[in-house]
Amino acid sequence: MTTTRVLVTGGAGFIGSAYVRALLGPSGPPGVAVTVLDKLTYAGNPANLDEVRHMDRFAFVRGDICDAELVDGLVAVHDHVVHFAAESHVDRSILGADTFVRTNVLGTQTLLDAALRHAPKTFVHISSDEVYGSIRAGSWPETDPLRPNSPYSASKAASDLIALSYHRTHGLDVRVTRCSNTYGPHQYPEKVVPLFITRLLDGEPVPLYGDGHNVRDWIHVDDHVRAIELVRSRGRPGEVYNIGAGHELSNRQLTGLLLRACGAGWGMVSYVEDRKGHDWRYSVDFTKIRTELGFAPRKDPATGLAETVDWYRTHRSWWEPLPRRTERGQKANSTKVPP
Ligand code: NAD
């Protein structure tokens, strides 16, 4: 059997590592070998790859996607590129956008230039629903214009457009996915779900932004990576695929589910000053990936979040050494939210 060689950038992070574990796991496609290229920033964790580290079909390279020589050598010997590597936390992009522009924009262009020289079969660019902006009602189809608001989402939108330009200009087989908010095990405890869970498990209060009414669609990481693999294996060149779950929750509803799963009450919640420029609602229309590729999300949030709480409860050694103090955590005040 011929081996399909897949280069996964950012494969030590939350979603990238779930994708690698799925590709090399018992339900993964046969004959796949994976190389992870990851800089191991604060968000990259080698422990996320412990399950696959011993496999002959797995290799790890520590390096920067902006390193053109390194990237060129790696893209040259792989059949597919699945590009997750990014600075991914909106709050950090508000404090400073330079690494976001460097990694998300220049890093993506560096990879695309290497792909142009070596013509891998597919280049899957992992993007986000945040590139569309904010929507009061209805859902964005893939054809909607991009109106990103935060430095993070603007850097992702820039990289999406550059990736698609390499298809339109050069004919490179580029496919873009734009997925909604993702949760599950192995997520660095700075984003809301793992931050709240780890704080509650330690008996600490959780900081809720503003009035808690911002709405997000929540998808389990296993559903997200299954959709990505459908796009890599069966999607079409030059196409964008929205990925969603249809599980919209306000931050207040999400907090309620997490409190219940952790056995805590509303007395553990503190209101904090809202995020600057906080997008009110995200909602992707994911009809295209459903009808074209047969994607259907499998996890409902109540079950998925309860399982995620269980994972953090039983994997303290994974998260306890990681710093959890964030700008959001530091600003927490003692105002209690009524039940
Ligand atoms: P993450 O922050 O957990 O992981 C990012 C990984 O990229 C880390 O392992 C980090 O070390 C690596 N990395 C960062 N800069 C690098 C560089 N210059 N060179 C090489 N590696 C580098 O992020 P995540 O949540 O797993 O997100 C993965 C991708 O999915 C991102 O592109 C993100 O925009 C996108 N996305 C995330 C979500 C979400 O809810 N988390 C939703 C939709 C899309």
Q: What is the pLDDT of residue 211?
A: 87
Q: Which residue, judged by its Cα, is nearest atom 19 of ligand 1? A: 64
What is the rounded distance in angstroms from the CA atom of residue 126 to the CA atom of residue 159?
10
156 lines ligand 1 (CB under 6 A): yes
Instruction: Tell me, yes or no, whether 315 lies in a domain.
Output: no
Per-residue pLDDT, 103:
98
Judge whether 206 and 191 are in contact, CB under 8 Å: no
Q: How far is the CA of 42 from the centre of ligand 1 (A)?
A: 11
Position 204 in a domain: no
Q: Is residue 278 part of a domain?
A: no
What's the mean per-residue pLDDT of the chain? 94
Residue 182 DSSP SS3:
strand
In a domain, 193, yes or no: no
Catalytic entry in 130, 190, 217, 223: 130
**Chain length of the chain:** 339
Q: Looking at residue 315, what is its pLDDT?
A: 98
Q: Which of 20, 60, 75, 88 has most ligand 1 atoms within 8 Å of its beta carbon, as the pocket-test mutant?
A: 88
Instruction: Give the separation between CA 117 and CA 113, rounded to whole angstroms.
Output: 7
- 82 falls within a domain: yes
Q: What CATH number corresponds to the domain at position 27?
A: 3.40.50.720
The whole-number pLDDT of residue 324 equals 65
The number of the ligand 1 atom at minimal distance from the alpha carbon of 64 is 19
In a domain, 312, yes or no: no
Note whether residue 126 is domain-resident: yes
- pLDDT value for 327: 42
* CA–CA dist 13, 228 (Å, integer): 15
| pLDDT value at residue 330 | 43
246: left (phi over 0), alpha (psi -120 to 50) or beta: left
DSSP 336: B
Residues of the chain with pLDDT under 50: 325-339
For residue 38, tell me if it sits in a domain. yes
| Active site annotation includes 310 | no
pTM: 0.95
pLDDT at 337: 31
Q: Any catalytic annotation for residue 130?
A: yes
CA distances from 313 to 70, 200, 308, 316 (A): 39, 10, 9, 6
Number of domains, the chain: 1
Residue 142: exposure state from Cβ atoms within 10 A (0-12, 13-18, ≥19): middle
Are residues 139 and 241 in contact, defined by beta-carbon separation less than 8 angstroms? no
Please report which residue ranges of the chain form alpha helices under DSSP H: 14-24, 68-76, 90-95, 98-100, 108-118, 151-170, 192-201, 221-234, 251-262, 287-293, 301-314, 316-319, 327-330
Q: Which structural domain, as residue segments, surrounds residue 13? A: 4-184+220-243
Contacts of 143 (CB under 8 A, 6+ apart): none
Separate counts of helices (H) and strands (E) for the chain:
13, 12
**210 three-class SS:** coil
Q: Residue 226 carries which side chain, given as an amino acid letter?
A: R
Dig out the tokens for 172 from the structure: 């490179």
> With a 6 A CB cut-off, is 12 part of the ligand 1 pocket?
yes
pLDDT in tens, 4-15: 999 999 999 999
How far apart are alpha carbons 24 and 19 in whole angstroms?
Answer: 9
